[in-house]
C-alpha cells in the first residue's frame, strides 16, 4: 500500500495579533462534530487563528489509530474547510512530534513560551471534557496559561461537580471578553448540535455500514479511510 502522504503542518506560524484558539483531541477520525465545534468557537470567541492539535500519546486513551493517519485525515478535513474558514485554521503537530504522553499543560507551556506573555490563548473543549477536567494533569494550572472556553449545546444533560462548578464560576467571563487578556478566564459558548461521535463512526465502519460515515465525514477523509483500510474489525480498531 502507498504510504500516507505527509500532511502540511504548521507548528509555529502564529498570527501577528489577536486571540489564538487551540482545539486538541485524538481526532480518530476527525468528523463534523469537531469541525462544528471549531467553527462555533471561532465565531463566538473572535479568534484570529484556530489551531487543531492532535494528541500524540493521549494518556487517558488506548488503542488509537497511528498518528500519521490522524494527521493526514485532519489535513484533508482542513482542505475541505478552506472555502469556509479561510487560511486561519492550521494543523499543529507538536503533540505528535513530542515524545512521551500528551499532556495539555505541556502543550500550553510550549505555545505560551513561543507567543510570549501578552497574546490571548484559548483552549477549546466540549462540556463533557469540562466535566472531566479535574482528571487532567495539573489541571488547575491550565488557566494560568490560557483561557478555557467550553461549548454548551441545547438540551445537553449532566452537571458539574460542586467544587468544579465553583471553580468555573469564579473565573467566568463573556466569550467576547477573552481576546482582551492573555489568560485566566473560563467562558461558555453555544454550539450547533451535531449528533455523532467518533465511536459511532468507527463502529459503523467496522460493520461495513457507510451511512453514518458518509453523513459526518468529509469526502476526502472517508476516501482516505477506505484507501488505507482503517477502522476495520479485523484491525481491532
Q: Which domains does the chain have, with CATH numbers?
A: 20-194 (3.40.50.620)
Partners of 152 in beta bridges? 190
Residue 26 has a CB neighbour count (10 Å cut-off) of 18
**pLDDT, mean of residues 4-33:** 81
Here the cell at position 46 is 473572535
Give pLDDT, residue 56: 86
Question: What digits encode the pLDDT tens for the residues 149-183?
Answer: 999 865 555 689 999 999 999 999 999 999 999 99
Max CA pair span of the chain: 54
Going from the C-alpha of 113 to that of each of 50, 65, 106, the distances in angstroms are: 18, 30, 11
Q: Identify whether the C-beta of residue 22 lies closer than 8 Å to the C-beta of residue 111.
A: yes
Q: Mean per-residue pLDDT for 202-212?
A: 96
Q: Greater confidence, 157 or 184?
A: 184
pLDDT of amino acid 88: 87
Global pTM value = 0.90
Contact assessment for residue 6 and residue 24, using Cβ atoms and an 8 Å cutoff: no
50/110 Cα distance (integer angstroms): 16
Q: Is the peptide bond before 72 cis (omega within 30 degrees of 0)?
A: no
Amino acid at each position: 500500500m502507498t504510504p500516507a502522504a505527509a500532511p502540511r503542518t504548521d507548528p509555529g506560524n502564529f498570527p501577528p495579533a489577536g486571540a489564538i484558539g487551540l482545539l486538541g483531541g485524538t481526532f480518530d477520525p476527525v468528523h463534523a462534530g469537531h469541525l462544528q465545534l471549531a467553527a462555533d468557537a471561532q465565531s463566538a470567541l473572535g479568534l484570529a487563528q484556530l489551531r487543531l492539535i492532535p494528541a500524540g500519546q493521549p494518556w487517558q486513551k488506548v488503542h488509537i489509530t497511528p498518528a500519521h493517519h490522524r494527521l493526514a485525515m485532519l489535513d484533508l478535513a482542513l482542505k475541505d474547510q478552506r472555502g469556509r474558514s479561510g487560511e486561519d485554521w492550521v494543523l499543529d503537530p507538536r503533540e505528535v512530534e513530542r515524545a512521551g504522553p500528551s499532556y495539555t499543560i505541556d502543550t500550553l507551556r510550549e505555545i505560551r513560551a513561543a507567543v510570549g506573555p501578552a497574546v490571548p490563548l484559548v483552549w477549546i473543549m466540549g462540556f463533557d471534557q469540562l466535566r472531566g477536567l479535574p482528571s487532567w494533569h495539573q489541571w488547575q494550572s491550565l488557566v494560568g496559561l490560557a483561557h478555557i472556553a467550553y461549548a454548551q449545546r441545547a438540551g445537553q444533560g449532566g452537571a458539574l461537580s460542586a467544587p468544579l462548578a465553583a471553580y468555573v464560576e469564579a473565573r467566568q467571563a463573556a466569550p467576547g471578553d477573552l481576546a482582551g487578556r492573555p489568560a485566566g478566564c473560563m467562558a461558555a459558548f453555544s454550539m450547533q448540535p451535531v449528533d455523532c461521535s467518533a465511536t459511532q463512526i468507527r463502529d459503523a465502519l467496522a460493520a461495513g455500514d457507510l451511512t453514518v460515515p458518509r453523513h459526518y465525514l468529509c469526502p476526502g477523509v472517508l476516501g482516505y479511510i477506505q484507501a488505507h483500510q482503517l477502522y476495520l474489525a479485523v484491525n481491532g480498531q
